[in-house]
Structures are given as C-alpha cells and as structure tokens.
Amino acid sequence: MHPIIRLVNRNLTISLNPGFLIWQVIFPLIYIFVAGFAYAPLIQNVPLGARDLDYPAFLASGMIGFNIMNSTLVSGIIIWNDRRHGMFEQIMSGPFTRSHYILSNICTIGIVGLVSASLIALVGYPVFFDSIEFSLITIPLIVFGAITGSVLFGSLASIISTRLRSSEGFNVIINTVFLFFAFVSTAFYPAEGAPEPLRSAFYLNPLTYLVDVIRAGIFGTFTEFVFYEMIVLLAMAAGLFIIASKLLTKLDF
C-alpha cells in the first residue's frame, strides 16, 4: 500500500469516530432547525442576487460551508497530537517522508470536507428543497467549494498547530480564530444591510467566499462576482497551503 494511502487511512481512523460524526450532524441540526425557524418570523426574506430566500433555507446552505470549515479542525488536531504524543517522530522513523505526511493531511481534510458537506446537504435538503435550482455547474461549484475550503481552513489549522507548543494556547487561538470566521461571515446572515465596518469585514473572511460559492451552486445565483470570489478562495487556499507545507517541512520532533 502506498505510504500516503496508509497515512490517510490512519488519519481517517482516528478522526472519523462516532462522536465526531454525531457532532458534525447534531451541531448544524440545532442551528438549522432551532435557530433557523426561530428567527424566520423576524427575518422573512433574505436577498440573494436577484431573488429572495426564506431564512431557514439561507441558513441551511450557509451551514454547509460552516461545517466544512469546522471539520477541517481535524488537520490541526492531528498534527498537534502527533507532536504532543511523539507520533510525528515515530512516523518519520518509518517508511514515510515529510511530503507523505503533508499530502496525507491534505487528502484527509479534503475527504472530511466532502463528507461533511454531503452530510449537511442531506440534512438540510428538506429545508431548501423548494428554493433549489440545479444546473450543470451545481455539483462542480459545491465540490470546488468543499475542496478549496477544506484545503484553506485545514492549512490554517495546520499553521496554528505548528506555531504553538502549549495545549492551552492552541485551543484558545484556534477556537478564537474559527469563531471569528463563523460569525463575521455570510454563513448566518447576509452582508446586505449589515452596518459598516462589519459588512467590509465579511469580505476579509474566506468563509464568506466559500458560503457564497456553495449558495450560488445550490440556488442558481452564479454571477461574475461569485466567479471573482472563487478566484480569491483558490488563491488564499494555495497561499496557505504553501505556507503550511513549508512550516511542516521544518517541523521539529
């Protein structure tokens, strides 16, 4: 078996446990079916391009991007635990190289991101069923968003895990950063109508681009602006991946 496949299998085995999978479904369910319908009377119509959505459909589609981001925490956690428990040294002493380790982590977060996106799409399907507008670019857009988003946020989690040595610092920083990404984005509410500078901050957040691309695929609202968002998302994912790879190649035991 190829070394990368062996490491990916090992990563998935320790990551995709029943507790993780339950959390990846239950947590979004609370937002979609509790917060979504609770706020629906207050937020009756959400503008999206040339059309309006009801809030539960808007939120359910946003939770797909949110869950992709949230699931990629496994990348940083894997690296952190490997360093903390001496597994990184053991892996490097075996038939594996740092390149195998890096590529296996990227493959892992890509798979986890796609699984996460699929789970939330299935869970949220009854909510946004009436608003869906499938086209030839629907699936490619969702897959593009899932993969680039996974690489972007997985690389960011990897960077944080390589720069911090204390468990307290790691947990505080990574949870603070991802909490900021979650709520300063269009995952939970639209940028239109938000006060400045909050609205501008939305577009400094990669989760906004990820969510916008996924919504464009689901609701058929692909525009030139969404195309530019895809370019920005791809560039940010590539940049963070390069940085994470360089840091991992220099990672000490």
Q: How confident is the model at residue 130 (pLDDT cuts 50, 70, 90)?
A: confident
- What average pLDDT does the segment 172-182 reach? 85
Average pLDDT estimate for 95-118: 81
What is the distance of C-alpha 61 from the center of its chain? 13
pLDDT of residue 253: 52
Any residues with CB less than 8 A from the CB of 160 and at least 6 apart, and which? 76, 170, 173, 174, 177
| Mean pLDDT, range 102-131, rounded to an integer | 79
What pLDDT, on the 0 to 100 scale, is given for residue 233? 94
pLDDT at 144 over 80: yes
Looking at the structure of the chain, the number of domains it has is 1
Between CA 198 and CA 191 the distance in angstroms is: 8
* Residue 169 structural domain: 3-8+18-249
Q: State the pLDDT at residue 148.
A: 92
DSSP annotation of 194: P
CB 79 within 8 A of CB 188: no
* pLDDT value of residue 13: 81
Asked if 205 and 89 count as a contact pair (C-beta separation under 8 A), the reply is no
* Confidence check: pLDDT of 43 > 90: no
Interatomic CA distance for residues 73 and 215, integer angstroms = 23
**Spatial separation of the C-alpha atoms in residues 189 and 199, rounded to whole Å:** 11
Give the Cα separation of 226 and 247 in Å (integer): 31
Q: What pLDDT sits at residue 3?
A: 82
Inside any domain, residue 216: yes
Classify the C-alpha dihedral 90-92-96-98 as positive or negative. Answer: positive
pLDDT at residue 170 is higher than 80: no
Cα dihedral: 185, 243, 177, 53 (round 10): 20
In a domain, 13, yes or no: no
pLDDT value at 92 more than 60:
yes
% pLDDT > 70, the chain: 96
* Preceding amide of 197 cis, omega within 30: yes
The segment with the largest mean pLDDT, out of 43-47, 108-112, 215-219, is: 215-219
- pLDDT averaged over every residue in the chain: 83
Token reading at 150: 């996974």
